[in-house]
Amino acid sequence: MALLEATGVVAGYGAAEILRGVSVTVEEGEVVTIIGPNGCGKSTLMKTLAGLVRVRAGSVRFEDADISAYPPERIVRAGLCYVPQSNNVFPSMSIRENLEMGGFIRAGGVAERIDEMFSLFPDLGRRPSLKAGSLSGGQRQMLAIARALMLDPALLLLDEPSAGLSPAVMDMVFERIRGINESGVSLLLVEQNAREALGMSDRGYILVSGENRLEDKGQALLDNPEVGRLYLGG
């Protein structure tokens, strides 16, 4: 049984149909990356899986429950958390307050979980009272991920986690992502740095024009010359 199984998903905005029957699975413990040209529906798929865009046809199952019609808050409670590419922290709140907001539905152990996040992301723990709005791009991304992890999700959806980051900071973010997966959290990524993401992925999907184009193991996609020419910059 797959942890996440999206089958024939159709979704969009208003009259625009962006996803045209997309299917994606994530097995427990996997890292899966979705790549494709701009405008192919990658971010729309992530928002649909998170309940922010309505499923018009097809289905989304998570831990063998049909969550296709679940509102976002119920999906979060089920153990699936989403980190958008931008506007993913509360800038006027401190680092600690952001993490407290992330853990607001926990039954208990919020302070302990925050300490765990500070161990995973030491930069955040050095100045927990600092306003999130004053953080660098990399620190904001790490705070957004840490806030999502406050609820101990089984699956984390990350939309372009390295966007706009310097190479050094990007490497640090990917290192943290690997550590999160090693701790037992499954990951579904949309990532502009496709080579780096596929290199750490068990499997990958290529979307084109809102449809599945290709699925294979991460390394197999990297080794495919046609994939390299069309989607990886040569």
Residue whose tokens read 């999130």: 132
pLDDT at residue number 234: 58
- The rounded radius of gyration (Å) of the Cα atoms in the chain is 17
| Residues sharing a CB contact under 8 Å with residue 129, sequence separation 6 or more, in sequence order | 94, 95, 96
CA-wise closest residue to 28 among 160, 181, 180, 179: 181
pLDDT at residue number 107: 81
> What's the one-letter identity of residue 7?
T
pTM, to two decimals: 0.94
Q: What CATH number should be reported for the domain holding residue 59?
A: 3.40.50.300
φ/ψ of residue 176, rounded to 5: -65, -40
- Domain count for the chain, please give it: 1
Q: What range defines the domain where residue 87 resides?
A: 4-231
Alpha carbons 176 and 182: distance in angstroms, whole number: 10
Q: Nearest 5°: CA angle at 143, between 201 and 141?
A: 55
pLDDT at residue number 86: 84
In this structure, are residues 199 and 213 in contact, taking their beta carbons and an 8 Å threshold?
no
In this structure, are residues 212 and 197 in contact, taking their beta carbons and an 8 Å threshold?
no
Cross-strand partners of 179? none
pLDDT at residue number 231: 85
Task: Give, for all 234 residues of the chain, the pLDDT tens digit.
Answer: 799 999 999 999 999 999 999 999 999 999 999 999 999 999 999 999 999 999 999 999 999 999 999 999 999 999 999 999 888 999 999 999 999 999 988 888 999 999 999 999 999 999 999 999 999 999 999 999 999 999 999 999 999 998 888 888 889 889 999 999 999 999 999 998 899 999 999 999 999 999 999 999 999 999 999 999 888 875
Rounded (10°) angle between helices 137-149 and 95-102: 30
pLDDT at residue number 82: 97
